[in-house]
């Protein structure tokens, strides 16, 4: 029997198991030894308690131990260690301590880095099970510091000595430890020569047919779409004819020196223009997919387009707290992690799934690695992962092809990606004033002084985000899973060998399709997500989302929200195979 797992084995009872010869001795021990037990506070308390006085120095009752300690003072700590080892042999190891190093809940790359640089300090995200206070105590006891706590998923951002990483992983309540990894937009360095004067992507996916089709005249009016990126600048194309700004909110969570909510890089502006630019500045030559949509700027990336996972988590918490205020129905994520993990343990995947399950459609870029690795969040089976197609500057599908850089394949969890493709080559959109970094790096991509030509799956994703806004304006009752099903089931056959997923986006067909079938049916939920939901589940179909908590304000959960309006998330069939990336240069 493992006494650690027995409910009768309280510290006071276990103290009775130790020889009386060890009691009532004056304690004098090395803190460095007990430091190793800080992940198990009850054990540390036991070893230091008045009931169990460990030390081999001046025992009135134990002359042999006392004499040994006096004779070999340099081995006092070792003697204490041997007694503790004997104690552990008696009661057995707790399950977490019995794990080998390779079995610990730590990202492999992070663990390898800690072993190579044991004297370094590591910035990590610690996902927890249940009460975080216990894990907080372990972090500080191991010489680390807690930077902040996340609420969208139960996790702590911490800095901890590399040598203590394994000990932290053995702490009760730790679900997974990963690096606070960089998240970047991936521009391609082999840019396509700009030759087209006007973009055809809105026509390629059928969006232009919806703008002037009665009775709804769909342009995304009233639907809030978040640009989770490097910022968005106020621009003529984001104003209505009456002069009202459709950029309804701007917040920042980046950690760089640029403290402005605006975009000095150029990536976020370009994304926003593809989603919702109305062409006022260009007299209608360059129009986004949903020219009437409301844009919400959540800046998480710095001037070079890079970000940290923790920045994205901060931004996602704000989105949940404010989604009803701005009717946020769509979040565009044209960013990918630089570290590959299973969606079962990746914290960014889990946080985006929380948004999905609260009625927000999440659209992510596949990545620009061709048939290469699928990095989070493009690997998540529930989200809409978008690959890039080349429309050749024409509305016709006949001359189109999947972009060579567009990622596709099967994730480490066995799911085919992307889910579908959309135009992502040579798209012209808003650049931003005062010469953003991308314009300075690629002056030949500047179009008419305020627009810019880019290629990449980062550009394809906002085409789909804009399409989702049109679909939700047409039918606001659609759930994220129903939206995903509509898009995939109406996509036009396209690509070879699964590199286009379900096919080529056709938003006109998606809007006019009938029925409310769902995607993702039977897909296993991530462990972290079902813990948030308070359930032990096998698939999304089983989720009782009425138990999921909702934010009442930024960074704070409040009570329980009933998801009466959000249908059960039974979802996606596996549609072929595809891999992911983010932006190509033609980003």
Residues known to be catalytic: 229, 267, 458
Residue with tokens 């009466």: 564
Contact 46, 15 (CB under 8 A): yes
What contacts 379, CB < 8 A, 6 or more positions away?
340, 342, 343, 346, 349, 385, 411, 412, 413, 415, 417, 580
CB contact burial 245-276 (16+ within 10 A = b; e otherwise): ebbbbbbbbbeeebeebbbbbbbbbbbbbbbb
Write out the E strands in 470-582: 549-553, 556-560
Segment holding 365, helix H or strand E: strand 361-365
Q: What is the maximum alpha-carbon separation in the chain? A: 98
**Which residues are paired to 121 by β-bridges?**
161
Rounded-to-integer distance, Cα 24 and Cα 22, Å: 7
- Residue 552's SS3 state is strand
Segment holding 178, helix H or strand E: strand 174-179
Rounded-to-integer distance, Cα 41 and Cα 47, Å: 10
- Residue 162's SS3 state is helix
Strand order in the sheet with 427-430: 427-430, 451-454, 446-447
Rounded-to-integer distance, Cα 366 and Cα 336, Å: 8
Rounded-to-integer distance, Cα 407 and Cα 243, Å: 40
CB contact burial 491-519 (16+ within 10 A = b; e otherwise): bbebbeebbbbbbbbbbbbbbebeeeebb
What contacts 320, CB < 8 A, 6 or more positions away?
152, 354, 355, 358, 550, 551
Rounded-to-integer distance, Cα 177 and Cα 101, Å: 13
* 323 to 59, 67, 142: CA distances (angstroms): 66, 71, 38
Radius of gyration of the chain (CA): 28
Alpha helices in 491-569 (DSSP H): 507-512, 527-533
Segment holding 196, helix H or strand E: none
* 244 to 234, 276, 495: CA distances (angstroms): 11, 14, 41
């Amino acid at each position: 029997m493992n006494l650690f797992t027995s409910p009768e084995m309280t510290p006071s009872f276990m103290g009775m198991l130790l020889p009386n010869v060890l009691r009532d001795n004056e304690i004098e021990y090395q803190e460095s030894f007990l430091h190793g037990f800080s992940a198990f506070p009850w054990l540390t308390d036991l070893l230091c308690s008045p009931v169990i006085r460990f030390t081999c120095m001046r025992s009135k009752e134990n002359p042999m131990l006392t004499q040994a300690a006096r004779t070999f003072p340099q081995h006092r700590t070792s003697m204490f260690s041997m007694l503790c080892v004997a104690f552990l042999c008696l009661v057995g190891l707790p399950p977490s301590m019995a794990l080998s190093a390779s079995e610990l809940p730590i990202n492999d790359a992070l663990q390898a880095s800690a072993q190579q640089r044991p004297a370094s300090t590591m910035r990590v995200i610690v996902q927890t099970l249940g009460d975080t206070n216990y894990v907080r105590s372990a972090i500080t006891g191991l010489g680390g510091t807690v930077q902040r706590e996340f609420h969208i998923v139960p996790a702590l951002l911490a800095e901890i000595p590399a040598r203590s990483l394994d000990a932290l992983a053995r702490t009760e309540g730790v679900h997974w430890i990963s690096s606070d990894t960089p998240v970047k937009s991936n521009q391609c360095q082999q840019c396509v020569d700009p030759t087209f004067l006007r973009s055809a992507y809105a026509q390629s996916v059928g969006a232009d047919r919806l703008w002037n089709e009665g009775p709804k005249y769909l342009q995304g009016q009233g639907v809030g779409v978040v640009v989770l990126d490097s910022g968005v600048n106020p621009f003529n194309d984001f104003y209505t004819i009456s002069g009202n700004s459709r950029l309804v909110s701007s917040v920042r969570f980046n950690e760089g020196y640029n403290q402005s909510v605006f975009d000095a890089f150029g990536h976020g502006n370009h994304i926003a223009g593809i989603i919702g630019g109305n062409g006022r500045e260009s007299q209608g030559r360059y129009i986004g997919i949903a020219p009437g949509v409301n844009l919400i700027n959540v800046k998480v990336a710095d001037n070079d387009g890079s970000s940290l996972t923790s920045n994205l988590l901060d931004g996602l918490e704000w989105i949940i707290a404010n989604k009803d205020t701005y009717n946020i129905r769509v979040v565009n994520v044209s960013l990918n992690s630089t570290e590959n993990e299973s969606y079962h343990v990746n914290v960014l995947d889990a946080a985006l799934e929380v948004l999905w399950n609260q009625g927000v459609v999440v659209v992510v870029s596949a990545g620009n690695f061709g048939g290469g690795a699928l990095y989070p969040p493009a690997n998540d089976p529930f989200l809409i992962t978008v690959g890039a197609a080349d429309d050749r500057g024409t509305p016709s599908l006949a001359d189109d092809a999947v972009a060579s850089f567009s990622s596709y394949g099967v994730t480490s969890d066995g799911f085919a990606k992307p889910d579908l493709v959309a135009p992502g080559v040579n798209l012209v959109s808003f650049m931003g004033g005062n010469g953003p970094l991308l314009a300075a790096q690629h002056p030949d991509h500047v179009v008419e002084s305020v627009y810019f030509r880019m290629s990449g799956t980062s550009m394809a994703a906002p085409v789909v985000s804009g399409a989702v806004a049109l679909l939700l304006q047409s039918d606001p009752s659609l759930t994220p899973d129903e939206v995903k099903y509509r898009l995939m089931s109406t996509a036009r056959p396209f690509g070879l060998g699964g590199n286009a997923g379900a096919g080529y986006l056709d938003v006109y067909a998606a809007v006019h399709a009938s029925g409310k079938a769902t995607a993702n049916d039977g897909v296993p939920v991530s462990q972290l997500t079902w813990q948030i939901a308070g359930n032990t589940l096998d698939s999304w179909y089983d989720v009782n989302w009425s138990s999921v908590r909702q934010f009442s304000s930024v960074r704070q959960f409040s009570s329980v929200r009933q998801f009466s309006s959000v249908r059960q998330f039974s979802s996606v069939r596996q549609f072929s195979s595809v891999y992911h990336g983010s932006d190509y240069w033609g980003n």
